[in-house]
Amino acid sequence: MSSSIFDSSPGDSNPGGDFAAREAAIALPPRNTALRRFCRHRLAMAGAIIIAILVLGSYLGPYLIPYDDTFIDIMQRFAPPFSGAHILGTDELGRDMLARLMMGGRISLAVGFTAMVISMGIGILVGAIAGYYGGIVGAALMRFVDAVLCFPSIFLLLALAALIEPGVASITLLIAATAWMDVARIVEGQIRGLRERDFAVAAEALGASDLRIVFRELVPNAVAPIVVAATLNVAKAILLESYVSYLGYGIQPPTPSWGNMLNNAQIYLTSAPWLAILPGLFITLAVTSFNFLGDGLRDALDPRMENH
Amino acid sequence: MTALVEIDSLQKHFPVGGGLFGRGKKQVRALDGVSLSIEKGEILSVVGESGSGKTTLGRTVLRLTDPTAGAIRFEGQDITSLSRRALRPFRQRMQLVFQDPFASLNPRQTVEQIVATPLAIHAGGSSATEKRERVADMLRLVGLQPHHADRYPHELSGGQRQRVGIARALILNPSFLVADEPVSALDVSIQAQVVNLLLELKEKLGLTILFIAHDLAVVGHISDRIAVMYLGRVVEVAETGTLFRSPRHPYTEALFSAAPIPDPTVRRSRVLLQGDIPSPIDPPSGCAFRTRCRHALPECATVVPPLRQVGPGHLSACIRDDIALQASIA
């Protein structure tokens, strides 16, 4: 190394180190290419940003505005938006619409998200058991899934809601109970295909337990469709919550949710249309954003696009 | 020499065409009475064309599929009907290397996670650093660099992946390895490297290997003994040199004749087989090979010819002792 062209001045960057850094940059784990693809999907990015704004607005917003969602300002009933102290106007009791939309957003988003988590849990469990064990157990479970799927979910939900005292927790559970079947079918198909693969046989040859094979080897390989299903499930859950609350079986006033705000608004549709338009707008915004996010994730996580 | 693994008239039938209610009557006889004994420290190769039951044999011996009938003894213990739980201690001592290095590694795990999986299952007590060291040692042993530990399988070449598969199979120090066509998915230039690695590891670790293959050049290079399979039965077993020099079963002769010779000046008379391998759902009566055999006699259709001793350590399942067969040129 005495006469090497590399040993010029001390403190000069080490060429070997440079090479190592370049090599590391090439060998990125697969998730980063997925992230890059996702960022290029404009609608999905827009969806993600809108969801972030809705979540932040719902949880931080109420601390930033001077009105409480239950504060009744009887002198300011039916104030239209952008006309006075209440930016988005007031409802029939003079309650601030913005405050109610924010609190309603908390409920609607929380119900949507929690229902998604629960339905994913049930769906993954049922799908994994059916797909992994197959045979009679699998067939019985999947025919049960098909049977539940035969009910239009809104009627199933209403039938169940009529029997159970409505509340945030019970509505969340009911929505989860009507939304897990699609996930179960997706997971069952994935696991059934993956369990025959050699790496699953390798784990079996090592004496791995069923639990380990399913959750360490198989489910991580089905993560892309599961994530997509999860996002779409949030949208579905928000919509279902709006349905039941609009029909009066869901979240009960005075607790606001976007759905029961719509329910309240129907008698004032001609005189105070903003009471219906505003919550409707937020439901649409949230649901489409989650759908776009799901589409973007589907494209980004598609294993066929991974460069092997 | 003592037998490490003894296989006694092993049968594996897969039901086919089963309806919704009850199973179909038809069965694929993937293994139709295979008896073999694998001696401690040897490499026994199993050859045969596609559909002869080689892979099923390997997986059934490891109890990855349940045999229909017959017995498997490992180190003298009958493991034919052990439950999964009872099999667990045996899993450490018998391992499998797969044909397709692209399918046998979990694409979502790093090399380190893959090679450490056996430790997580069987060596729960050891610490994380201890496990990492064992993984690094193992990677070095199979000719990989420590920095490969953080890579994902798709970042490695086929040969490197196969080395990872071998590392995973050997990290628990098994005594018995089933290598299911471990090199047939690799480039020829890489095949030699992996075959030599297996030979080297066999010496170092005292392995016994059941080597499943269809490439006779590889088989001749690596094995101590060779078993030839046809339609779920073993038709001939002999030491490698003996089998290549003086095959006693017409099917072995035909198999040798089908192997390419890397010398265009050599002329030889080929033994060409007519037609395809018969369906294992409905195999021919008597000797399964008689439908394609140029030496077949009417008697061949009546009785299944048993494996008979035709020389020292040389068994063949052909009733015709009177025929002269071509030796392998390769």
Full DSSP string of B252-278: HHHHHHHS--S-TT------PPPSPPP
Query: DSSP letter string over A14-28?
Result: PHHHHHHHHHHHHS-
Cβ–Cβ of B104/A202 closer than 8 Å? yes
Residue of A nearest to B180 (CA): A198
Rounded CA gap, B84 and B94, in Å?
A: 14
Cβ–Cβ of B106/A198 closer than 8 Å? no
Question: Which residues in chain A have their CB less than 8 angstroms from residue B66's CB?
Answer: none
Taking each helix axis from N to C end, the angle separating A181-194 and A97-133, rounded to the nearest 10 degrees, works out to 40
Number of domains, chain A: 1
| Within a domain: B304 | no
**pLDDT-based confidence at residue A141 (cuts at 50, 70, 90):** very high
A207 close contact with B: CB closer than 8 A = yes
The structure tokens listed for B20 are: 């919704």
Nearest C-alpha neighbor of B181 from the set B212, B208, B210: B212
State the average pLDDT over residues A101-119: 91
Distance to chain A for B210, nearest Cα, Å: 15
What pLDDT sits at residue B168? 92
| Within a domain: B116 | yes
Query: What 3-state DSSP class applies to A269?
Result: coil
**pLDDT-based confidence at residue A23 (cuts at 50, 70, 90):** very low
- What are B3-25's pLDDT values in tens digits? 889 998 898 888 876 555 555 56
Cβ–Cβ of B98/A201 closer than 8 Å? yes
Number of domains, chain B: 1
B65 close contact with A: CB closer than 8 A = no
| Within a domain: B312 | no
Question: Which residues in chain B have their CB less than 8 angstroms from residue A223's CB?
Answer: 108
Indicate if the pLDDT at residue A303 is higher than 60: no
- What are A260-270's pLDDT values in tens digits? 888 888 888 88
Which residues of chain B are modeled with pLDDT < 50?
A: none
| Within a domain: A13 | no
Cβ–Cβ of B100/A220 closer than 8 Å? no
Residue of B nearest to A211 (CA): B121
Residues in chain B: 330
R_g of chain A computed on alpha carbons: 26
Among the ranges given (A34-38, A294-298, B253-257), the one the predictor scored with the smallest mean pLDDT: A34-38
User: What is the SS3 string spanning B126-161?
Assistant: CCHHHHHHHHHHHHHHCCCCHHHHHCCHHHCCHHHH
Indicate if the pLDDT at residue A79 is higher than 80: no
| Within a domain: B158 | yes
Rounded CA gap, A221 and A191, in Å?
A: 9
Query: What 3-state DSSP class applies to A98?
Result: helix
Q: Could you tell me what percent of chain A has a pLDDT over 70?
A: 87
| Within a domain: A171 | yes
- What are B195-252's pLDDT values in tens digits? 999 999 999 889 999 999 888 888 888 999 999 999 889 999 999 989 988 888 989 8
Rounded CA gap, A176 and B256, in Å?
A: 64
B315 burial class (0-12, 13-18, 19+ CB within 10 angstroms)? Answer: buried
Cβ–Cβ of B103/A199 closer than 8 Å? yes
Tell me which residue range forms the domain holding A253.
107-275
Q: Which of B92, B117, B165 sits opposite A203 (nearest CB)?
A: B117
Alpha helices in A65-180 (DSSP H): 97-133, 135-150, 153-163, 168-179
Cβ–Cβ of B108/A223 closer than 8 Å? yes
Distance to chain B for A189, nearest Cα, Å: 18
**Is the separation of the CB atoms in A212 and A232 below 8 Å?**
no
- Which candidate in B14, B61, B106, B181 is best for mutational testing of the A interface (most A CBs within 10 A)? B106
A28 close contact with B: CB closer than 8 A = no
A53 close contact with B: CB closer than 8 A = no
Indicate if the pLDDT at residue A307 is higher than 60: no
Cβ–Cβ of B103/A308 closer than 8 Å? no
Query: What 3-state DSSP class applies to A152?
Result: coil
Cβ–Cβ of A206/B100 closer than 8 Å? no
**Is the separation of the CB atoms in B31 and B53 below 8 Å?**
yes
Indicate if the pLDDT at residue A306 is higher than 70: no
Tell me which residue range forms the domain holding B148.
107-173
The Cβ-side half-sphere exposure at A305, using a 13 Å CA radius, reads 15
Q: Which residues contact A35 (CB under 8 A, 6 or more apart)?
A: A300
Rounded CA gap, B194 and A295, in Å?
A: 44
A217 close contact with B: CB closer than 8 A = yes
| Within a domain: A238 | yes
| Within a domain: A257 | yes
Question: Which residues in chain A have their CB less than 8 angstroms from residue B122's CB?
Answer: 206-207
| Within a domain: A247 | yes
ipTM of predicted assembly, 2 dp: 0.84
Which one is predicted more confidently, A120 or A86? A120
What pLDDT sits at residue A261? 87
| Within a domain: B262 | no
R_g of chain B computed on alpha carbons: 21
A220 close contact with B: CB closer than 8 A = yes
Tell me the backbone φ, ψ of residue A34, rounded to 5 degrees.
Answer: -65, -40
CATH number reported for the structural domain that contains residue A259 in this entry: 1.10.3720.10
Distance to chain A for B92, nearest Cα, Å: 7
State the average pLDDT over residues A192-200: 90
Given the DSSP bridges, would you call strands B308-311 and B77-78 parallel, antiparallel or unpaired? unpaired
What pLDDT sits at residue B253? 87
Nearest C-alpha neighbor of B74 from the set B87, B57, B56, B83: B87
Most confident of A66-75, A181-190, B76-85: A181-190
